[in-house]
Each structure stands twice: as C-alpha cells, then as structure tokens.
C-alpha cells in the first residue's frame, strides 16, 4: 500500500521534464498534450516512490508509455534521467530512504523505456522486413506476369501471321484448283481474270509480310508505306469482294453505287483494309446471314460500310477492337486484333478513318477516304 504520507515531487517537476523532453524529441502530440501526459506520469512515479513494499512495475510502465508516446530519441532518455535524478535533491539527504528509493524508481523507468524502445525498433525492423518481402514477391509476380504477357504476345503474333497470310492465300489456292481441275474448259478471258486476281493477292501478301515484320519490330512505332492516287472506290470494293475466293459460301451483298466516284487513297492498301473487314465479318457473323457492303459520297468524303449480322461490338469496346493483339470474343472464333490495328494505321496514313458501330443486330465497320480536290 502507498505510504499515507505521500512525498510529492516539486510542483515544477513535470514542467521541467516536459521542456527537457520536448526540446529533444519529435512527438505526434501537441505541447499541451505532451505536458499533460508527462504530468500524469510524474504522479505515477510519485506513487511508485512511496509504495510498500517497493514495486518497480509502475516505473517500468511509465518508461514504456514514454516510448508509446513516441519520445523515442536516446537524447530524450538521457535528458529525462538527468532531470529526474536531479529531483532527488529535493527528497532529503542522499543517505535517506526517499532519495535512494527515487533512484530505484528512475532506474526502473530507464529499464522500462529501453525495453519498450528495443521492442519498438525490433517491431519496426520486422515491419520493414515484411514490407521488403512483400515488395520482392510483388516484383517477382510482376516479372512473371510480364514474361507471360511477352510469351502471349509472341503466340498472338504467330497466330496473326497465320491468319493474315491465309486471307490472300485462300483465293489463290481456290483459283489454282479451278485451273487445275477444269483446265482447257476455262476460256482465255476468264483465265486472265483468275491470273489477275491471284497476282493482286500475291501483291497483298507482300504488303502483309512487310506490315507484319514492321509490327513485330514495335507496334507503337509502326509506319506503313502508302502510295496515294485517285482510285475508283467501287472498283476497289469489288476487287476486295473478288479476293474472297470461289470457295467462300457466305453471301456478300454489294449495296453501293458503282458510280460512287473516286477517292484519294492507296487502292492496294484500301483493298487490304476492306479484305480484313470482310474476313472479320465472315468470321463473326451468324451462320447463313449475309455480309453487306455499301459505299456513298458524303461531302468531301466517300464512306464505305461493311456490316455483318453477328453479335455486334458493345459501344464500350468500340476502340478496344483496334488495339494491337486485343481479343474480343464476338463469335465462335477469337480474333488476334492485329489485323484491325493495322487497318487503322493504314487508314490514318492515307488520311482516312475507320471505326465501328453497333448495327443492332451485328456490327458495322465504317471507312472514309477523302475525295480528290475540286
């Protein structure tokens, strides 16, 4: 029990202690809050001073609370000990019981402080170590994800090469089979037309190879070559339709005007864009449904529209389909996305535009090219 004759420390003790500690520490408390806390701790030390029998637990707790209040600089502890030990002069002669007991209290406070500070530092070190381990795991996961994306990109590129090259190879193979099977039964004019289509598709293969190699070297820096000239739009569209090959079973309806006029473009590149759109429409449209192609003049532009009757493209994904290697599941077959990306880059290079809208049902891909200057 505490001695009934409680020996109180001088009234200015808490204030002296507060000034000493606050002068050397960073604390999250305001000055008034810190002084109130330190005054409370002084009262606890006064109780420990007169407890019978002496128990250091109260002083140990006071030292720990100093750390909890973020008085954690070693200079704070040394200043605190100097101030507190100096107070023993007010408790009687050095040989009296109270000054000796006070020194025990201060020693217990120092032990509580250093123990709590050590635990605090160890805890912070563990937190830092844990954070470092988490950061390392996240870095390893990010590296693994990056490697996985790179591998996926390689797979997508190979798939794209296969898909893009198959597009012009299909009609070449189809016409060669007709030439081989029917032989001399094909008149010279039709034979010449077959050769013209195959030669045109071979030119397209050369462009595709150049484009794919350019894209493989860096999608973001892809530059495609175009040769701008005046070209008959309806003729370009019809050549794209002819390039689909004789083996294609889907109906492709030309709804445009054959007299839609001319536009400034690269006719081979424009046909490449249209062929890509026709193949996509064929790939994603529902079985038995047609693909419709139209063209019309709109002021200084000619607009070409390729429409399918498949599931369509949601408005929020209208730009995603043109991103390189995007995968949009519009039908039973997933597209690689590089074809539409190349189509957009080609239209940009030719000074035109390409975009997609929801045709409800189906999707409508729009292409515009400028008319010749008047």
Using the predicted structure, report yes or no on whether residue 332 has a pLDDT greater than 50: no
* pLDDT per position as a tens digit, 273-283: 998 899 888 88
Q: Average model confidence (pLDDT) for the chain?
A: 78
* pLDDT per position as a tens digit, 135-177: 888 888 888 888 887 777 666 666 666 666 777 777 788 888 8
Structure tokens given for 309: 């009757």
Longest Cα–Cα distance in the chain: 133
Which comes out higher in pLDDT, residue 73 or 344? 344
Q: Report the C-alpha gap between 188 and 171 in whole angstroms.
A: 19
Residue among 54, 59, 56 at smallest CA distance from 42: 59
Structure tokens given for 304: 């070409």
Write the CA distances from 216 to 153, 338, 339, integer angstroms. Answer: 10, 10, 13
Residue among 290, 275, 208, 185 at smallest CA distance from 238: 275
Cis (ω within 30 of 0) for the bond into 202?
Answer: no
The sign one gets for the Cα dihedral 201, 203, 206, 210 is negative
Q: Give the pLDDT of residue 71.
A: 63
Q: How confident is the model at residue 333 (pLDDT cuts 50, 70, 90)?
A: very low
Which comes out higher in pLDDT, residue 269 or 205? 269
Q: How confident is the model at residue 106 (pLDDT cuts 50, 70, 90)?
A: confident
Q: Report the C-alpha gap between 102 and 148 in whole angstroms.
A: 68
Architecture of domain 13-134: Orthogonal Bundle (1.10)
Q: Which residues pair with 265 in a beta bridge?
A: 229
* pLDDT per position as a tens digit, 38-49: 777 777 877 787
Q: Report the C-alpha gap between 260 and 248 in whole angstroms.
A: 26
Q: What is the mean pLDDT of residues 293-307?
A: 92
Q: Could you confirm whether domain 187-370 is CATH 3.30.565.10? A: yes
Q: How confident is the model at residue 331 (pLDDT cuts 50, 70, 90)?
A: very low
The region of weakest confidence among 95-104, 228-237, 260-269 is 95-104
Can you give the residue ranges of every domain in the chain? 13-134, 187-370
Q: Give the pLDDT of residue 330.
A: 44
CB 198 within 8 A of CB 175: yes
Q: What is the mean pLDDT of residues 324-350?
A: 68
Q: What is the mean pLDDT of residues 116-134?
A: 84
Cβ burial, residue 293 (10 Å; 0-12/13-18/19+): buried
End-to-end CA distance of the chain: 109
Residue among 168, 190, 180, 192 at smallest CA distance from 245: 168
Q: How confident is the model at residue 1 (pLDDT cuts 50, 70, 90)?
A: very low
pTM of the model: 0.49
Q: Report the C-alpha gap between 17 and 43 in whole angstroms.
A: 13
| 118 phi, psi to nearest 5 deg | -60, -45
Structure tokens given for 244: 């689909």
Which comes out higher in pLDDT, residue 252 or 78? 252
CB 108 within 8 A of CB 60: yes
Q: Give the pLDDT of residue 303.
A: 95
CB 45 within 8 A of CB 109: yes
What percentage of the chain exceeds 90 in pLDDT? 16
DSSP-derived secondary structure letter, 8: P
Structure tokens given for 368: 């515009």
Residue among 353, 357, 356 at smallest CA distance from 367: 353
The region of weakest confidence among 199-213, 241-255, 292-306, 312-326 is 199-213
* All residues at 6 or more sequence positions from 158 whose CB lies less than 8 Å from its CB, including other chains: none
Q: Give the pLDDT of residue 9.
A: 63
Structure tokens given for 297: 């003049």
Q: How confident is the model at residue 337 (pLDDT cuts 50, 70, 90)?
A: low
Q: Report the C-alpha gap between 52 and 6 in whole angstroms.
A: 11
DSSP-derived secondary structure letter, 337: S
């Amino acid at each position: 029990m505490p001695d009934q004759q409680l020996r109180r420390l001088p009234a200015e003790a808490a204030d002296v202690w507060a000034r000493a500690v606050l002068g050397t520490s960073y604390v999250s408390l305001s000055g008034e809050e810190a002084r109130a806390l330190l005054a409370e701790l002084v009262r606890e030390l006064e109780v420990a001073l007169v407890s019978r029998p002496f128990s250091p637990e109260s002083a140990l707790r006071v030292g720990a609370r100093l750390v909890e209040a973020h008085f954690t600089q070693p200079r704070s502890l040394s200043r605190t000990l100097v101030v507190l030990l100096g107070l023993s002069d007010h408790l009687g002669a050095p040989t009296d019981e109270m000054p000796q007991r006070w020194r025990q209290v201060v020693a217990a406070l120092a032990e509580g402080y250093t123990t709590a500070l050590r635990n605090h530092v160890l805890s912070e070190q563990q937190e830092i170590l844990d954070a470092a381990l988490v950061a390392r795991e996240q870095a390893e996961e990010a590296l693994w994800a990056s490697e996985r994306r790179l591998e996926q990109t390689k797979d997508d590129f190979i798939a794209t090469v296969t898909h893009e090259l198959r597009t012009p190879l299909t009609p070449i193979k189809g016409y060669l089979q007709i030439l081989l099977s029917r032989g001399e039964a094909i008149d010279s004019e039709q034979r010449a037309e077959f050769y013209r289509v195959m030669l045109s598709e071979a030119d397209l293969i050369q462009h595709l190879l150049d484009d794919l190699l350019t894209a493989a070297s860096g999608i973001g820096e892809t530059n495609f070559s175009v040769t701008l000239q005046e070209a008959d739009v309806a003729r370009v569209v019809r050549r794209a339709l002819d390039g689909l090959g004789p083996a294609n079973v889907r109906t492709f309806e030309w709804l445009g005007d054959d007299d839609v006029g001319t536009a400034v473009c690269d006719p081979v590149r424009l046909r490449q864009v249209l062929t890509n759109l026709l193949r996509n429409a064929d790939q994603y449209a529902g079985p038995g449904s047609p693909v419709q192609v139209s063209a019309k003049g709109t002021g200084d532009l000619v607009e070409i529209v390729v429409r399918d009757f498949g599931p369509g493209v949601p408005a929020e994904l209208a730009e995603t389909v043109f991103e390189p290697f995007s995968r949009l599941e519009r039908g039973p077959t997933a597209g690689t996305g590089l074809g539409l990306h190349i189509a957009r880059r080609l239209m940009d290079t030719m000074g035109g535009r390409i975009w997609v809208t929801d045709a409800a049902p189906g999707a409508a891909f729009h292409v515009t090219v400028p008319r010749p200057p008047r």
